[in-house]
Structure 1
């Protein structure tokens, strides 16, 4: 088990370094002259040259990379080119907002996706199965931004159950915090519910046809005990999809945060990309990859615990 964990950690570190290096050079290739976005088109050549020297952009690119990478390796992502504030501090302020919404959306995805998938898988071609598939088809067909707007109109404007925009810190009010992230999380989770439910349904049907399930029933186990065995054998696919959905929700949160005016990472990405604030974009990228590595590592550990055969791969 220790060797299995070590391999997964090493793979995560390699991925983190590769993405960091690639993102740095791609960003500097795409944004050839950041001073234009930072100072505006009305800035003089002397002003742009002075800012270039101040930011260290007059140095060779490989020197700039090593300076950034050597600091990023110890957790220092430098300062923003826009306001010269710490990138770490800006991410630390914005990240909890995005993680709150994405984590809540992942919980909703897991609960409703697994519930619908189990109901449909244990009762294939039944009325429950057809209703479940109908719900998933409808959810899959609805555009995410349209769903977000409908949720705002129904539950925020008309019913006034939730705020239409804004974010409340949990330190100010737990209830207000939950109300402020509910609609964004619901709009984010709908697609994930569809994917997880369909994936789990197919796995449950396949597992339910295996010989060991018939053996369990012949031994007199209750339906609940049999369902637990079926779920344990079918859940690796669902866990994999949940991990993938968590990662995709991090990127999908950009649109949702814009619609609901949430001060999260999406807002920071938009403002930084518009002016070419490369240190902030690099910091967000590295932090995002770290979460990807953590999620995949936890997934591998969970799959290795459920199915010991995975550990030998």
Structure 2
């Protein structure tokens, strides 16, 4: 337990450094934007004098290192700037949109893990038999299907041809939990299927390797119930899939941007599209930064889960 806490604290201590690196990367990349924040806020018809006054008030003409320091100072205060007219705080826009993206990501992740474990264990337990052959075909098809294309197919089949689910929109779970599930079901499935197919292949490979180990044959020879054997094997087999789970969460977060646009969900994806199409650099910068930080936090959580599942590395 002491070793686990030491490693956990080491992971957590690295987070501020990585957040600074992410903030620097996002800030530098945004400096290459061809959009002039002054003219974007004032309009193309603004005079050079008005542009100069706006730039002086917001430090746009300061040296790059000074602007980065000012950016970090504002970031520590929770100030991500304001959008172009009507001039709403970017932090408020993100606070309103991020919960939906988080809901979609978590729902897609839970569904992906359930499908991956079910399919992977089934394929391993029936190795080289017909259930395993079916699993291989389904997993290859799932990996090859892009989320956005699957989303369009789901809308056509289950929202238009068979109107079971809505074509888009969002229902707050506080207003109607059933309505929330109906609006989130198709987007979550669209995100989950490619991730589930990829993880299922890893689960099956790990399960097959564990099932061939001596301790499994010993447990079966001693008459241990199959359920207990599978449970023990599954815990050891999940070590490898957990190493890539954080990357898959990043895929879910990035995929949610496109899926939200397809299903007209007012999440972070809509903010990014709004910022890009409107030339709102502050909105794009703040949204991308928050998604990157969320990705970092999720990876740290996955690292901690990895430590719990694999006690052998706690001594490293």
- Cα distance per residue 1:263-313 (max 9 Å; x no partner): 110010111123443332332233223322322222222221222222233
Cα shift at 1:142: 2.4
- Aligned counterpart for 2:166 among listed residues 160, 163, 166: 163
Say which of 53, 59, 64 aligns to 1:61. 64
Question: Cα offset for 1:218?
Answer: 1.6
The equivalent of 1:264 in structure 2 is: 267
TM-aligned CA deviation for residue 41 of structure 1: 4.5
TM-score, normalization by structure 2: 0.92
Task: Specify the alignment match of 2:209 in structure 1.
Answer: 206
Q: 1:239 corresponds to which residue?
A: 242
Alpha carbons of 1:312 and 1:83: their partners in 2 closer, same or farther (altered >3 Å)? farther
70, 73, 76: which one aligns with 2:73: 70
**How many angstroms apart in 2 are the aligned matches of 1:156 and 1:222?**
45
2:89 equivalent in structure 1: 86
Deviates more, 1:259-268 or 1:136-145: 136-145
In structure 2, the gaps of 5 or more residues are none
Does the CA-based 8 Å contact 1:20-1:282 persist in structure 2? no
Corresponding residue for residue 149 of structure 1? 152
Residues 256, 120 of structure 1: alpha-carbon distance in 2 compared, 3 angstrom cutoff: same
Matched, 1:178 2:184: no
1:305 to 304, 308, 315: 308
Unpaired runs of at least 5, structure 1: none
Q: CA deviation at 1:43?
A: 4.6
Q: Which moved more, 1:226-235 or 1:302-311?
A: 302-311
- Give the direction of change, closer, same or farther, for the CA distance of 1:142–1:213 in structure 2 (3 Å limit): same
* Contact 1:106–1:242 under 8 Å retained in 2: no
2:52 maps to 49
Aligned match of 2:109 in 87, 106, 111? 106
Match in the other structure for 2:137: 134
1:264-303 mapped onto 2 (5 Å cutoff): 264-303=267-306
Give the Cα separation in 2 of the matches to 1:49 and 1:273.
24
Are residues 77 and 217 of structure 1, via their aligned partners in 2, closer, same or farther at CA, if it must alter by over 3 Å?
same
Q: What residue in structure 2 maps to residue 21 of structure 1?
A: 24
Alignment partners' CA distance in 2, 1:42 and 1:121: 66
My pick for the range that moved more, 96-105 or 238-247, is: 238-247
Q: Secondary structure at the match of 2:167?
A: coil
Instruction: Report if the CA contact (8 A) 2:170-2:265 is conserved.
Output: yes
**Offset of 1:39 from its aligned partner?**
4.9
Whether the 8 Å contact between 2:147 and 2:255 is mirrored in structure 1 is: no
Contact 1:120 1:129 in 2 (8 A): yes
Shift of 1:50: 4.1
State the alpha-carbon separation in 2 of the partners of residues 89 and 69 from structure 1: 18
- CA separation in 2, counterparts of 1:116 and 1:136? 9
Say if 1:54 and 1:120 are closer, same or farther in 2 by CA, change over 3 A.
same
Offset at residue 32 of structure 1 (A): 5.9
- Cα deviation, residue 37, structure 1: 4.2
Task: Give the Cα–Cα distance (whole angstroms) in 1 for the partners of residues 286 and 165 of structure 2.
Answer: 33
The match for 1:117 among 106, 111, 120 is 120
CA distance in 1 between counterparts of 2:55 and 2:279 reads 13
Q: C-alpha deviations, 1:243-278, integer Å up to 9, x for none?
A: 221121111111111111111100101111234433
